[in-house]
Amino acid sequence: MTDYIENEFAKFWIKKDILYLVYKNGISLDQPAAIKVVEDRLLLQKGKAFLIFCDLRGLKSVDKGARNYFAGEGGVLIKAIALLVKTPLTSAISGFFIKANRPTFKIEKFTKEADALEYLNLIS
């Protein structure tokens, strides 16, 4: 059983019914990268919807094609996402995604990991 996946963009694992997705430092995402991230996430999920803790702190940029993919067909099997941001850049990226792309799943951004996990646990 696969319980951990790593690719050139991120690391993924499941712990206590939450899927953790942590982007690597300095990563720029375009649509092909977004497709790879979603493919690996879905491989780990094995057809089951999950709450997702997504650590964006390593992201450098996300282009429009990637944002559109994540909000559309890449948003399958997501119950809710808690985005962990640290810098003004990752906060701006996530805020822009939430407002411009209007994903169909619940999504909130946080600056503290404990707050993000509390949000997900309240939803479950």
Domain 4-123 has CATH 1.10.260.40: no
CA dihedral for 41, 19, 57, 120, sign (positive or negative): positive
Q: How do residues 58-84 score in pLDDT, each as one tens digit?
A: 999 999 999 999 989 999 999 999 999
Q: How do residues 29-68 score in pLDDT, each as one tens digit?
A: 999 999 999 999 999 999 999 999 999 999 999 999 999 9
Q: Are 27 and 9 in contact (CB under 8 A)?
A: yes
Q: Is the pLDDT of residue 92 over 90?
A: no
> Tokens representing 93?
């990226």
Mean of the per-residue pLDDT values of the chain = 93
Burial code (b: 16+ CB inside 10 Å, e: under 16) for 55-82 equals bbbebeebeeebbbbbbeebbebbbbbb
Domain ranges of the chain: 4-123
